[in-house]
């Protein structure tokens, strides 16, 4: 419990950074479980995912956003709007800069956008496990020159180094107030969206080269019934659609003899069973939704 001289704090922190800066991995490390899609491919987060960190002295609600970038499609513009809307509503901003790549135009582009933000900015040099001590030291100096920062912290989310220290710093920057979420809640993502993201993550790992960004997933149906194999347990039946943009991409997602789609299903199902705590029967189908990234109606249908 908090002592009387240390009031309880609660609020929202937004993680920003160029694509593939380690934002989602950091969110998952702070929350202590997987709440966002993690891939080594840029542009994988498409929704503001909230992870809730519960500490004795406060509650930190993390908002993980798509990477700010120069948009090339209507989808890209909408993703940037998600970030801008989020930045205007949070109590602290976390700018993620990877330790293993030099500070570049993408980082400077975001730093310029942060000049309009009133909330304090904490710069986190991520992926320190993937860089030498010299690289990390140089990156800390370079990153601290990007913005007026309240704190600059090196962190390895993968190795768990300095994650707790970062939590303490972020909670300390929040306003005083009661908890915003109940103790048992770690995310406000609805289950169907999390399931769709698990399918998309598995698909991206299998067909990244062939179908980079033109992949969306919708859960068409999800039903729960008693598991005939296990007394007292549930079986969750999920029917999901993988939407690609061009007819030529469909066979790539299916693979010879359906091998690829089968592998995607196997990997996604494991994640779903861990998420739902039940056996899952997953049916995946591939559809072609032409040029959906630039079509407002199709984007709305897909939830963007």
How would you write the pLDDT of the chain (304 residues) with one tens digit per residue?
445 578 999 998 988 888 778 887 888 888 876 555 444 444 444 445 567 888 888 988 887 665 555 666 666 666 666 666 667 678 999 999 999 999 988 899 889 888 888 899 999 999 999 999 999 999 999 999 999 999 999 999 888 899 999 999 999 999 999 988 777 766 555 677 778 888 888 888 877 655 556 678 888 888 888 888 888 888 889 999 888 888 888 888 888 888 999 999 998 998 888 878 889 999 999 888 766 677 677 666 666 6
Assigned CATH topology for domain 191-301: GMP Synthetase; Chain A, domain 3 (3.30.300)
SS3 295: coil
Antiparallel, parallel or unpaired: β 9-16 and 92-98: parallel
pLDDT of residue 219: 86
126 is in an annotated binding site: yes
Q: What are the boundaries of each domain within the chain?
A: 9-172, 191-301
The answer to whether the beta carbons of residues 37 and 201 sit under 8 Å apart is yes
Q: Is 65 annotated as a binding residue?
A: yes
Q: What is the pLDDT, as a whole number, of residue 138?
A: 93
Would you say 68 is a known binding-site residue? Answer: yes
Is position 118 annotated in a ligand binding site? Answer: no
The C-alpha atoms of residue 8 and residue 47 are separated, in whole angstroms, by 29
Superfamily of domain 9-172: P-loop containing nucleotide triphosphate hydrolases (3.40.50.300)
- Which residues are within 8 A (CB) of 124 and not within 5 positions of it... i.e. 6 or more apart? 26, 94, 95, 96, 97, 152, 153, 154, 155, 166
- Burial class from Cβ neighbours inside 10 Å (0-12, 13-18, 19+) for residue 186 reads middle
Helix (H) or strand (E) holding 238: strand 234-244
- Position 95 scores a pLDDT of 93
How far is residue 167's CA from residue 172's CA, in Å, rounded to a whole number? 8
What pTM did the predictor assign?
Answer: 0.59
Is 187 assigned to a binding site?
no
Annotated binding residue 2? no
What is the per-residue pLDDT for 194? 78
User: Does the annotation flag 127 for ligand binding?
Assistant: yes
């Amino acid at each position: 419990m908090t002592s009387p001289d240390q009031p309880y704090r609660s609020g929202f922190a937004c993680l920003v950074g160029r694509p593939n800066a380690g934002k989602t991995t950091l969110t998952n490390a702070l929350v202590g479980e997987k709440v966002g899609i993690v891939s080594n491919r840029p542009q994988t987060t498409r929704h503001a995912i909230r992870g809730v960190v519960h500490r004795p002295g406060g509650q930190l609600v993390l908002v993980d956003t798509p990477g700010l970038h120069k948009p090339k499609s209507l989808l890209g513009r909408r993703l940037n709007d998600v970030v801008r809307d989020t930045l205007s509503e949070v109590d602290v901003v976390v700018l993620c800069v990877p330790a293993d790549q030099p500070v570049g135009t993408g980082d400077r582009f975001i730093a310029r956008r942060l000049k309009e933000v009133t909330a304090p900015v904490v710069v986190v040099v991520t992926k320190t496990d993937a860089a030498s001590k010299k690289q990390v030291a140089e990156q800390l100096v370079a990153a601290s020159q990007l913005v007026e920062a309240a704190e600059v912290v090196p962190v390895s989310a993968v190795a768990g180094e300095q994650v707790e220290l970062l939590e303490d710093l972020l909670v300390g920057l929040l306003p005083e107030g009661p908890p915003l979420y109940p103790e048992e809640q770690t995310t406000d993502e609805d289950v169907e969206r999390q399931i769709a993201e698990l399918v998309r993550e598995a698909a991206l790992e299998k067909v990244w080269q062939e179908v980079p960004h033109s992949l969306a997933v919708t859960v068409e149906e999800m039903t729960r019934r008693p598991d005939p194999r296990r007394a007292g347990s549930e079986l969750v039946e999920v029917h999901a659609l993988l939407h690609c943009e061009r007819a030529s991409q469909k066979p790539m997602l299916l693979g010879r003899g359906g091998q690829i789609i089968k592998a995607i299903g196997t990997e996604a199902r494991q994640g779903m069973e861990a998420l739902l705590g039940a056996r899952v029967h997953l049916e995946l189908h591939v559809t072609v939704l032409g040029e959906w990234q630039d079509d407002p109606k199709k984007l709305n249908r897909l939830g963007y």
